[in-house]
Structure 1
Amino acid sequence: MADAAPGLALIVQSGGFDRVHYAFALAAAAAAIGRPAILFVTGRALPVLTPEPGWHALDPADDGSPPAARERYLAERGLATLAELVDSCGALGVRVIACELGWRSLGHDAAPPTRPELRVETAGLVTLLTTAGPGWQMVFV
């Protein structure tokens, strides 16, 4: 596939609402223009992948506001909310990998239930590195 667009792999480690929001925005944008995208989610960002508490359990936004307040702020301005971006990533086929080590670091012996619309797989860094092919861009968020 010499003509294929290079993929985008995002390592989402920060649990800050704004960082997680932007990672999902980047992944959705890449997928929307035909670029393969992977979200490798780990650490304090992992709650975004769960149905409950989901993104509500993320760390505050950069301005210190709680996730629910930041989500309302985005919605009031007609901007894509994190909830909408999560749905978009699922619909656009963004590959989502939840880090097995990350789950364990949060005290889970096994991966908890995840959002079904995202088709989350639990794996590790080797899976990320073997999936992201030569020429892919890798961004740490």
Structure 2
Amino acid sequence: MSVLMYDVGITLSDCSWERHHHAFTLACSFLALNRSVLIFAGGRSVLTLSEKMEGLDGALSDDLLKARQIPSLRELRDAIISLGGAFMACETGMKMAGLSSDDLMAGIRVRGMVSFLTEVGSHPIMTL
């Protein structure tokens, strides 16, 4: 079995809406420059990969973001997927957040940190 390799790895380590928004904006920017991105959601940050996308600290409303012409977190997440980026949810984080794989949006792989590190290889990793 071949292992996918990504140009950039981004790890999320908490459930801060603002950090996730920044990380997703950064990922979209890398993808726009044709650099492949893998985002690993660790701890309770897995909440951002759920269908409901609830429980993130400090979330701004979609209405406020729209009024200020800022993409929502969901729009950024969808853009990452449409641009070819990938997400990985931490096995331990899923347990911490009380989620099952059925709670996640389609296409999310549930793996551990070793899988993430393997797929990023020696490329840069950013923790937000």
TM-score, normalization by structure 1: 0.79
Deviations 1:28-51 (A, max 9, x none): 111111001010002221111111
Deviations 1:38-68 (A, max 9, x none): 100022211111112x1x32111xxxxxx24
Aligned with 1:18: secondary structure?
Answer: helix
CA-atom RMSD in angstroms: 1.6
Question: What is the Cα deviation at residue 74 of structure 1?
Answer: 2.1
Match of 1:124 among 90, 112, 117: 112
Q: Tell me, in whole angstroms, the C-alpha distance in 2 between the residues paired with 1:100 and 1:86.
A: 20
Question: What is the Cα deviation at residue 112 of structure 1?
Answer: 3.4
Residue correspondences, number: 123
Deviations 1:57-111 (A, max 9, x none): 2111xxxxxx243x33322111222111011011011110000011112234x43
- Mapped pair 1:24 → 2:24: yes
Larger Rg: 1
Partner of 2:81: 90
Aligned with 2:102: secondary structure?
Answer: coil
Partner of 1:106: 97
Q: Tell me, in whole angstroms, the C-alpha distance in 2 between the residues paired with 1:39 and 1:80.
A: 18
Q: Is the 8 A contact 1:51 1:113 kept in 2?
A: yes
Aligned with 1:78: secondary structure?
Answer: coil
Q: Tell me, in whole angstroms, the C-alpha distance in 2 between the residues paired with 1:112 and 1:23.
A: 24
- Percent identity (aligned): 26
Q: Tell me, in whole angstroms, the C-alpha distance in 2 between the residues paired with 1:97 and 1:132.
A: 12
Q: Tell me, in whole angstroms, the C-alpha distance in 2 between the residues paired with 1:133 and 1:45.
A: 22
Unpaired stretches in structure 1, ≥5 consecutive residues: 1-5, 61-66
Unpaired stretches in structure 2, ≥5 consecutive residues: 1-5
- Mapped pair 1:73 → 2:39: no
Aligned with 2:69: secondary structure?
Answer: coil
Q: Is the 8 A contact 2:17 2:56 kept in 1?
A: yes
Aligned with 1:127: secondary structure?
Answer: helix
